[in-house]
Amino acid sequence: MQTYLYDFYGELLTEHQRSIYEDFVLDDLSLSEIAKEEGISRQGVHDLIRRCDRTLEGYEEKLHLLERFLNTKEKVTRIQNLSRNYQDQKETVVMAEIEAISNEILEEL
């Protein structure tokens, strides 16, 4: 979840926050490794990462971009599954279901 939040809202963090957060979340460095690299305490790194997490979660609570993305992704997956199993069902039923799902996606945009 941290990676998704960072993908959507990471650019809203300061350059310093992004650097440390990327080291921890994306590069999988330990708190101690980051602290040594940045010349700050391990606790300082820990606190900064927690603040970043809260900041990113706060953006999601207000903007819901990740939630919308995941909902849309799930609906597209449903459409893909329907189209793969197209021959197993009646054409009109499949097409109606695909249309209904696509309408849901359009309404959410």
Q: What is the pLDDT of residue 88?
A: 65
64 Cβ contact list (under 8 Å, min separation 6)? none
Note the pTM of the prediction, 2 decimals: 0.81
Helix, strand, coil share (%) of the chain residues, nearest 5: 85, 0, 15
pLDDT tens digits in sequence order for the chain, 109 residues long: 899 999 999 999 999 999 999 999 999 999 999 999 999 999 999 999 999 999 999 999 999 999 999 999 999 999 988 887 776 677 778 888 888 999 998 888 7
Question: What pLDDT, on the 0 to 100 scale, is given for residue 94?
Answer: 83
Residue 20, class by beta-carbon neighbours within 10 Å (0-12 exposed, 13-18 middle, 19+ buried)? buried
pLDDT the model gives residue 85:
73
